Amino acid sequence: MATAEAIREAALRLFAAHGYEATTMADIGTAVGIRGPSLYKHVASKQDLLAVTMTATMESLLAGHAAAVAGNADPVERLRRAVDAHVRFHARNRLEAFVGGSELRSLVEPHRSRVLALRADYERGFRTLVEEGVAAGAFRVGSVRLASYAILDLGMGLATWYREEGELSENEVVWQQIDFALRLVGAPR
């Protein structure tokens, strides 16, 4: 018998490979070995599968960010830790990151507003780090908001190109992305 977790994982793989609109409940059912209509015993709808995936992804990112910056007052070290957590999450959760970035258009209300609010909270966390670094004299940027967006892009792009078996290890990618982020804000490295 397929579990809700197996169904969510199959849906994630299919959404990443084919897109939300092109994936049917029958496709998801086939992937877990049950007929499409039987899926409704485990999940409410395809939309709910997408919403749960995207919400859980954002909640994981927010929790990782909070844990990374906790207990340290140095703005450079806080940014270093936040970028580390951000990049590692995206390297280790490429499908979730890819679906989160590409399928926002497929979310309907109230799911869309919920995910957008979580995304705004996450961006605000990075913006606050940059603001605090500027206020402390550790960072020099023309636009705090643009700097936070650029730092976020360092991790989000990994969903499309990073592979464990690739040229660079996860640690090498993380270290270089941290260096890029610190250069971007004019911080000492």
Residue 12 lies in a domain: yes
Does one domain contain both 168 and 106? yes
Q: How many domains does the chain have?
A: 2
Does one domain contain both 83 and 168? yes
Kindly give the residue spans of alpha helices, DSSP state H, lying in 19-110.
25-32, 46-69, 75-92, 94-102
Does one domain contain both 124 and 157? yes
Q: What is the pLDDT of residue 179?
A: 96
CATH of the domain at 72: 1.10.357.10
What tokens does 150 get?
């650029």
Does one domain contain both 20 and 62? no
The boundaries of the domain holding residue 1 are: 1-43
pTM across the whole model: 0.92
Residue 30 lies in a domain: yes
CATH of the domain at 33: 1.10.10.60
Q: Running along the chain, 189 residues long, what does each successive block of 10 average in pLDDT?
A: 84 97 94 83 92 97 98 96 97 95 96 98 98 97 96 90 91 96 90
Does one domain contain both 8 and 63? no
Q: What spatial distance separates the first Cα and last Cα of the chain, rounded to whole Å?
A: 53
Angle value at C-alpha 112, between 10 and 144, nearest 5 degrees: 110
How many helices, marked H, and strands, marked E, lie in the chain?
Answer: 9, 0
Please report, as a single letter, which amino acid is at residue 99. Answer: V
Does one domain contain both 22 and 84? no
Q: Helices 111-135 and 144-156, interaxial angle, to 10°?
A: 120
Residue 90 lies in a domain: yes
Q: What is the pLDDT of residue 1?
A: 46
Residue 189 lies in a domain: no
Does one domain contain both 146 and 85? yes
